[in-house]
Amino acid sequence: MGTTTIAGTQLTFAGVVATGALAGFASAAIMTGSLSGALQGAMWGAIGAGTAFGIGEALGHAGGIFTKGVSAGKAFIKAAAHGLSRGIISMAQGGTFRSGFASGFTSSFFNPGTTMGGTSSRGFTLRTTISAVVGGTAAVIGGGKFANGAVSGAFVHMFNAEGKTFLDGVKSIGRGLMRFGDYLARISGFRDWQEGSVVLKNYYRDQAIAQTKYAYNIGKFIITNPVARSLAIDSAQHYIEQNPEYVTGRFLTGAVFSFGVGGIRGGGPIIPITATAGDVSYTANEIDSFVRGIVYGY
């Protein structure tokens, strides 16, 4: 059980478990408002995601009965496996096997796949909502809580059918933070000291300052110019609609780390903002290097 590839994206068991822990932490933090509850959510999120991935590895990462090319028999066997795993997890959490089994089975068997509603954010929201409602309803019928079943159904769907770019969104936060760290090293003069810049004193620092100035000017222009602002908003909305899984993974990861920095209720958007600033500084540096290469011929 090492890796698998879904829609061209390689998923690893460790990566899925880590993502499940992050998502479990975020959802439990919102539901309980406590650090202990969030940590428990992270543990069960990791177990649930890892189990769902393992079932997919053994039986195939296909959708449910509504997915083209998936037979009723194969959908039933896979759903039964998900039901069994969720039933055991429910019992371990203090619930009943019946409610956990019902939620896991129905969420898998009636999984809407990845084409219902289209590929935009509306489609992603529709499919995930359907999975959550199905899982929650089944849990209530089985004698459990709707909220637990809804979370279970949404997790089963996102970590199977919609998982192809979810992990990319998770990893983007860490990449952005690393880029922000590089920016701080350059603008503080540490990179010049580290590299021993002797030909051009403060080369990296001056470069970072210049890049910051024109990034600021571009941002100011977009904010103050109605046409530019409208284009920027439309572009952002289009990107979110076309990449809902990626945006969801980035949002959940940013929320988790923000909670860790500022507390369960006071985390704020500090981590996503910092990561985005890192991405902006990286882009500015790349553009600056490209232009310098053309001007100076290197």
Domain boundary among 164, 195, 222: 164
Rounded CA separation 210/161 (Å): 44
CA angle 18, 174, 285 (to 5 degrees): 160
Domain boundary among 164, 179, 209: 164
Domain boundary among 164, 198, 221: 164
The larger pLDDT score, comparing residue 298 to residue 41, is at 41
The larger pLDDT score, comparing residue 27 to residue 1, is at 27
pLDDT of 267 strictly over 60: no
Within-domain flag for 103: yes
What is the arithmetic mean of pLDDT over 199-215?
A: 83
CA 209, chain centre distance (Å):
32
Listing DSSP states for 188-227 in one string gives TTHHHHHHT--SSTTHHHHHHHHHHHHHHHHHHHHHH-HH
pLDDT of 1 strictly over 50: no
What is the arithmetic mean of pLDDT over 96-123?
A: 74
Amino acid 184: pLDDT: 92
% the chain with pLDDT above 70: 71
Domain membership of residue 141 as a residue range: 11-164
- 100 near 88, Cβ under 8 Å? yes
Instruction: Calculate the average pLDDT of the chain.
Output: 75
Spell out where 120-201 has E strands: none
Torsion of CA 238, 239, 245, 250, to 10 degrees: -130
Q: Name the domain count of the chain.
A: 2
- The first and second tokens of residue 42, run together, are 């992270």
What is the arithmetic mean of pLDDT over 5-9?
A: 41
* pTM of the entire predicted model: 0.54
Least confident interval from 34-48, 67-81, 170-184, 259-273: 259-273
Within-domain flag for 143: yes
CA angle 103, 109, 112 (to 5 degrees): 100
Same domain, yes or no: 156 and 182? no
